[in-house]
């Protein structure tokens, strides 16, 4: 393993060396060097972390989460509105179930860590998640007259498939963040770039598919990403393990993993930022379904946006999200956690006023057309949202103790998912209390206003966030020194990590 200073030196490959062509003002060589900078960055990550690790992140975050997540958002919104014809508050409540598989991420983490199937720890779970997602998407797309409960079950199956596939990649990211802390922000940048690029493609094509195939037919596209996860299950290199007394070892490892999570979460340096991340997500109640029903309603004076335009606006937002990643990667990854999260949360609350302006139709009084204003609002919210999310992901990765990275990172992501679940449920309760329906949006502005006030109220908990830099080691020393009961042997650890698959021989 390279020393930390070696990883730091490698990180300079992302930038420009003194006297390199990229520092020459103007000229073809400077332009070419600027274009090749992302290539050099990816090559550095492949060399330092392994090409298969990079490929796995792109596949899971880019296709399975980015593309499928964005496509699902648009297609499912129209599915509930046009096919199932349910009220916005009901859709907001039903969306809570889609977060349940993410709340159960610690369970998936424990299963993939300590429950081998026929000697394999990773391949069977990738195969299972891929098959589950493909079958679920096919059923909801092809079945006619599907009941609401059956539709929810199928969509939860798609969400479960993505959550299980996500656990393995998250474990590798957490492990590499501990081994090479200087590259932790770069790994999160890779995840975010992949996710944003996939989201761009998903949003750009979703409106077109919904228009030509209908909302139900468009959901059939959701079968493609999990099908590629099946392929991932075959291409991951993993040696078959032969263990004796497997049952006893599994019980000991599960017990050790649970005790390790409880012991770690008790440390103030761990539970305080975890509580802040939960509050930051939970207090930002979701009013998405009410706003979606409002701006797609064709009755004047509602905007009445078309399916293609909705997809286009989200696609532009995905580009803005990538800009947010670039801003973080280039300008903000060296700032302390507390500083960047304070200003990001402040901007998050203030930028929400654009939603309020749009719902109250003040943009028309200012002479700004609906199409231009909603595009501006989407871009601002995506940039700010991404800048707010990135340091929280880095912070989560750095709170994981050695030897239990996958399980504990899954626990932190479970806490985040509980926050988002609470935001969805809170939004559903607010929409229902304010009587926002398919045709009555008179009090929608109150829901948006309450959401913005709660976002700003989160700033009162910023003291829970550590003042440490994003490259610092946050795990307590006693946890770093202790050997985790859930830890695996060195030869197993090497087999289980995508990052070590090619033993750093896959330079491009």
Residue-by-residue DSSP string for 263-278: HHHTSHHHHHHHHHHH
Predicted local confidence at residue 118, as pLDDT: 76
For tokens 């998407």, name the residue: 137
Residue 250 is predicted with a pLDDT of: 61
**pLDDT tens over the chain, length 508 residues:** 333 344 333 333 333 443 444 444 455 577 777 778 888 888 888 888 777 778 778 888 898 888 988 899 889 999 999 898 889 889 888 888 887 888 887 788 777 767 777 777 777 887 898 899 999 999 999 988 889 999 999 999 999 998 888 887 776 776 677 677 778 778 878 887 888 788 889 988 988 899 888 889 999 999 988 888 888 777 766 657 665 555 556 666 667 667 777 777 788 888 898 899 999 999 999 998 899 999 988 888 889 898 889 888 988 988 888 888 888 888 888 888 899 999 999 999 999 999 999 999 999 999 999 999 999 999 999 899 988 988 888 888 788 776 666 667 778 878 888 898 899 899 999 999 999 998 899 999 999 999 999 999 999 999 999 888 877 777 767 666 654 444 444 444 444 443 333 333 333 3
Distances from the Cα of 76 to the Cαs of 72, 135, 196, 315, 429, in angstroms? 6, 17, 19, 16, 20
Q: Which residues contact 479 (CB under 8 A, 6 or more apart)?
A: 263, 264, 267, 401, 402
User: Which residues in 116-259 belong to E strands, given as ranges?
Assistant: none
Answer yes or no: pTM beyond 0.85: no
Could you tell me if 419 and 279 are in contact, meaning their C-beta atoms sit under 8 angstroms apart? yes
- The two tokens of residue 478 are 């006693």
Q: Which among 281, 49, 66 has a CA at the least distance from the CA of 186?
A: 49
Alpha-carbon dihedral sign for residues 388, 389, 393, 394 = negative
- Tokens representing 265? 């979460």
| pLDDT at position 328 | 86
Q: Could you give the maximum distance between any two Cα atoms of the chain, in Å?
A: 74
pLDDT reported for residue 501: 38
The predicted pLDDT at position 432 comes to 92
Q: Where on the phi/psi map is residue 282: left (φ > 0), alpha (ψ -120 to 50), or beta?
A: alpha
| Alpha carbon separation from 127 to 68, 120, 165, 383 (Å, rounded) | 18, 11, 9, 35
Residue 120 sits at φ, ψ, to 5 deg, of -110, 140
């Amino acid at each position: 393993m390279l020393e930390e200073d070696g990883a730091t030196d490698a990180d300079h490959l992302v930038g420009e060396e003194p006297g390199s062509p990229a520092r020459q003002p103007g000229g073809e060589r400077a332009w070419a060097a600027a274009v090749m900078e992302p290539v050099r960055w990816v090559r550095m990550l492949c060399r330092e972390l392994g090409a298969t690790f990079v490929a796995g992140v792109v596949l899971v975050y880019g296709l399975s989460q980015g593309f499928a997540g964005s496509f699902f958002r648009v297609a499912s919104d129209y599915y509930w509105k046009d096919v199932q014809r349910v009220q916005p508050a009901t859709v907001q409540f039903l969306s809570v179930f889609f977060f349940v598989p993410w709340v159960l991420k610690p369970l998936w983490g424990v299963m993939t860590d300590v429950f081998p199937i026929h000697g394999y720890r990773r391949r069977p779970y990738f195969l299972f998640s891929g098959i589950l997602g493909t079958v679920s998407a096919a059923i909801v797309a092809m079945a006619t007259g599907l009941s609401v409960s059956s539709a929810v079950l199928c969509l939860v199956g798609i969400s479960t498939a993505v959550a299980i596939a996500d656990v393995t990649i998250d474990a590798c990211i957490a492990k590499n963040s501990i081994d090479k802390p200087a590259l932790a922000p770069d790994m999160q940048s890779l995840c975010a770039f992949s996710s944003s690029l996939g989201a761009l493609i998903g949003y750009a094509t979703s409106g077109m598919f919904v228009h030509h195939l209908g909302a139900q037919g468009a959901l059939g596209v959701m079968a493609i990403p999990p099908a590629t996860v099946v392929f991932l299950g075959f291409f991951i290199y993993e040696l078959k393990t032969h263990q004796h007394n497997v049952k006893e070892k599994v019980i000991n490892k599960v017990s050790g993993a649970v005790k390790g999570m409880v012991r770690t979460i008790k440390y103030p340096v761990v539970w305080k930022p975890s509580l802040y991340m939960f509050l930051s997500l939970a207090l930002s109640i979701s009013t998405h379904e009410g706003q979606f029903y409002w701006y797609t309603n064709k009755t004047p004076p509602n905007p009445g946006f078309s399916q293609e335009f909705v997809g286009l606006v989200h696609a532009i937002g995905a580009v803005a999200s990538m800009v947010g990643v670039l801003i973080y990667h280039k300008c903000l990854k060296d700032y302390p956690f507390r500083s960047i999260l304070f200003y990001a949360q402040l901007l998050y609350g203030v930028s929400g006023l654009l939603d309020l302006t749009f719902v109250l139709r003040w943009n028309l009084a200012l002479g700004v057309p609906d199409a231009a204003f909603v595009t501006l609002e989407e871009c601002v919210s995506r940039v700010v949202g991404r800048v707010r999310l990135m340091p929280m992901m880095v912070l989560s990765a750095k709170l994981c103790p050695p030897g239990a990275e996958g399980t504990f990172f899954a626990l932190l992501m479970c806490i985040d998912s509980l926050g988002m679940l609470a935001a969805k449920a809170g939004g559903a309760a607010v929409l229902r209390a304010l009587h926002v329906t398919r045709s009555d949006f008179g009090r929608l502005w109150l829901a948006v206003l309450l959401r913005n006030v709660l976002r700003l109220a989160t700033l009162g908990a910023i003291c829970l966030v550590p003042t440490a830099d994003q490259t610092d080691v946050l795990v307590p020393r006693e946890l770093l020194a202790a050997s985790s009961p859930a830890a695996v042997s060195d030869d197993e650890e090497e087999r289980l990590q995508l990052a070590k698959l090619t033993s750093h021989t896959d330079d491009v």
